Amino acid sequence: MRVVELFSGAGGMSLGLKQAGFDIVRAYDAWPVAVENYNRNIGSHAKVTDLGDILSVVPELLRLAPDLICGGPPCQDYSSAGRREEADNAKLTLAFGILVATVRPTWFVMENVTNAAKSSTWQEARKVLKAAGYGLTESKIDASRYGVPQSRRRLFVVGRQGERDGFLASSIAAAATQPMTLRDMFGSTVPAAMYFPATSDARRSIWGPDEPAPTIRERSIRPLPVSYRPHPDDAALVENGFVYARPVRAGRGVRSIDEPYPTVTRTASERPGPKYLSSPHPADPIAASSTAVLTIDQISRIQGFPAWWKWEASSKRDILQMIANAVPAPVAASIGRAILDREEGRSTPEIQGGFLQWLVRRGRSRQSARNTKSLAGRARRLLSGRTFSVLALELAALESAEEFKAMKRNPQSDLRQALRLLAEYQAEGHQRRKRPRQIDAQPIEELAKAA
Ligand SMILES: C[S@@+](CC[C@H](N)C(=O)[O-])C[C@H]1O[C@@H](n2cnc3c(N)ncnc32)[C@H](O)[C@@H]1O
The pLDDT confidence band at residue 436, using thresholds 50, 70 and 90, is: very low
> Closest ligand 1 atom to the C-alpha of 10?
9
**Angle, helices 366-382/409-425, rounded to nearest 10 degrees:** 100
Are the beta carbons of 248 and 266 closer than 8 angstroms? no
Best of 29, 50, 69 for a ligand 1 pocket test (most atoms within 8 Å of beta carbon): 29
Alpha carbon distance 350, 171 (integer Å) = 8
Asked if residue 203 and residue 62 are part of one domain, the reply reads no
Does any domain span residue 348?
A: no
For residue 341, pLDDT beyond 50: yes
When computed from its CA atoms, the radius of gyration of the chain, rounded to whole angstroms, is 24
The predicted structure's pLDDT at residue 124? 94
Alpha carbon distance 26, 411 (integer Å) = 47
Element containing residue 46 per DSSP (H, E): strand 46-48
Quick one: 68 exposed, middle or buried, by C-beta within 10 A (0-12, 13-18, 19+)? buried
Does any domain span residue 39?
A: yes
> Closest ligand 1 atom to the C-alpha of 52?
19
> Closest ligand 1 atom to the C-alpha of 89?
16
Are the beta carbons of 327 and 146 closer than 8 angstroms? no
Does any domain span residue 262?
A: no
Task: Give ∠ CA 152-153-158 in degrees, rounded to 5.
Answer: 120
> Closest ligand 1 atom to the C-alpha of 75?
1
For residue 192, pLDDT beyond 90: no
Asked if residue 45 and residue 171 are part of one domain, the reply reads yes
Mean pLDDT for all residues in the chain: 89
The shares of helix, strand and coil residues in the chain, as percent rounded to the nearest 5, are 45, 15, 45
Asked if residue 124 and residue 219 are part of one domain, the reply reads no
| Gap from CA of 50 to ligand 1 centroid (Å) | 10
What is the number of domains present in the chain? 3
pLDDT (tens digit per residue) in 8-20: 999 999 999 999 9
Asked if residue 220 and residue 124 are part of one domain, the reply reads no
Question: Could you list the active site residues?
Answer: 75
Residue 449: partners with Cβ closer than 8 Å, 6 or more residues away: none
The predicted structure's pLDDT at residue 438? 43
For residue 221, pLDDT beyond 80: no
> Closest ligand 1 atom to the C-alpha of 31?
25
Does any domain span residue 437?
A: no
Asked if residue 119 and residue 51 are part of one domain, the reply reads yes
State mean pLDDT over 424-442: 60
Among 343, 375, 404, give the residue marking a domain's end. 343
Best of 263, 264, 321, 325 for a ligand 1 pocket test (most atoms within 8 Å of beta carbon): 325
State mean pLDDT over 124-129: 96
Does any domain span residue 214?
A: yes
pLDDT (tens digit per residue) in 252-272: 999 999 999 999 999 898 899
Asked if residue 406 and residue 337 are part of one domain, the reply reads no
> 242 has which bridge partners?
256
Q: Which domain holds residue 54?
A: 2-181+331-343
Q: Which amino acid is it at 67?
A: D
Which residues line the pocket of ligand 1, CB cutoff 6 A?
7-13, 29-31, 34, 49-52, 72, 74-75, 92, 325-327
User: E strands of 297-396, at which residues?
Assistant: none
The predicted structure's pLDDT at residue 223? 60
Among 312, 343, 374, give the residue marking a domain's end. 343
Number of neighbours of residue 441 by Cβ within 10 angstroms: 14
> 262 has which bridge partners?
151
Local structure of 435: helix, strand or coil: coil
Choose between 248 and 198: higher pLDDT: 248
| Gap from CA of 388 to ligand 1 centroid (Å) | 33
Asked if residue 131 and residue 8 are part of one domain, the reply reads yes
Q: Which CATH number do you get for residue 150?
A: 3.40.50.150
State mean pLDDT over 310-327: 96
Minimum CA distance residue for ligand 1 atom 25: 31
Are the beta carbons of 176 and 146 closer than 8 angstroms? yes
The predicted structure's pLDDT at residue 215? 75
The pLDDT confidence band at residue 40, using thresholds 50, 70 and 90, is: very high
Does any domain span residue 274?
A: no
The pLDDT confidence band at residue 4, using thresholds 50, 70 and 90, is: very high
The pLDDT confidence band at residue 220, using thresholds 50, 70 and 90, is: low
Alpha carbon distance 46, 322 (integer Å) = 15
Does any domain span residue 77?
A: yes
| Gap from CA of 162 to ligand 1 centroid (Å) | 28
The pLDDT confidence band at residue 123, using thresholds 50, 70 and 90, is: very high
| Gap from CA of 250 to ligand 1 centroid (Å) | 29
Best of 5, 6, 7, 321 for a ligand 1 pocket test (most atoms within 8 Å of beta carbon): 7
The predicted structure's pLDDT at residue 79? 52
| Gap from CA of 36 to ligand 1 centroid (Å) | 13
For residue 210, pLDDT beyond 70: no
Asked if residue 128 and residue 196 are part of one domain, the reply reads no
Residue 121: partners with Cβ closer than 8 Å, 6 or more residues away: 86, 90, 91, 93, 94
Asked if residue 130 and residue 27 are part of one domain, the reply reads yes
For residue 439, pLDDT beyond 60: no
Asked if residue 395 and residue 370 are part of one domain, the reply reads yes
**Could you give phi then psi for residue 279, rounded to 5 degrees?**
-140, 75
Asked if residue 74 and residue 202 are part of one domain, the reply reads no
Does any domain span residue 132?
A: yes
pLDDT (tens digit per residue) in 351-398: 988 999 999 999 999 999 999 999 999 999 999 999 999 999 999 999
User: Measured in whole angstroms, how far is the alpha carbon of residue 357 from the centre of its chain?
Assistant: 32
The predicted structure's pLDDT at residue 441? 42
For residue 296, pLDDT beyond 80: yes
Whole-Å CA distances, 238 to 152, 254, 366: 21, 14, 54
The predicted structure's pLDDT at residue 218? 64
| Gap from CA of 90 to ligand 1 centroid (Å) | 12
Asked if residue 338 and residue 198 are part of one domain, the reply reads no
pLDDT (tens digit per residue) in 64-105: 999 999 999 997 655 554 454 446 777 899 999 999 999 999
Minimum CA distance residue for ligand 1 atom 26: 9
The predicted structure's pLDDT at residue 249? 79
